[in-house]
Amino acid sequence: MTTKHPAQHFDPKPVLDLIASIEADLQRLKGLVEQQVEKFDPANPHNKAQDGKLTEEGVECCYRMFDEGKSRYSVSQQMKISFAAATHRFNNWRKLGGTKRQRTLLG
C-alpha cells in the first residue's frame, strides 16, 4: 500500500518578490544605458577625422540632429560642416529611413 503525503502549501510570495527585485534592477540598468545612448555633442572632436571628414560617430550625430527635426543649415552650423555636406547627410538619413532608421551607439 502507498502512503499519501499531505499536500505541501506553496508560498509564491518569495518568488514574486524576487521577480519584482529583478525587474526593478533591469529597469534601473535600462535607464543607465538609455541615458548614454541619447547623449551626443555636435562639437565633440571625435566627430571628425584628421582629414576633416566625419567619422561614423559624426555621421550618427548628424542623423540624431535630423531625428530631432533640425534643419540642414542648423546641422551644418553646429557640426561645422558645409551646407552641401549636411545636405548629403540629410539625403542619406532619409534613405536609411529617417527617424525609423536603426541608431548606432555613440561613445
According to the model, what pLDDT value does residue 62 have?
93
Distance, CA of 75 to CA of 72 (rounded, Å): 5
The SS3 assignment for 42 reads coil
Is the pTM higher than 0.85? The answer reads no
Distance, CA of 57 to CA of 73 (rounded, Å): 19
Per-residue pLDDT of the chain (107 residues; tens, 9 = 90+): 566 666 678 888 999 999 999 999 998 888 776 655 456 788 888 899 999 899 999 999 999 999 989 999 999 999 999 999 999 999 999 999 998 998 887 76
Position 30, amino acid: K
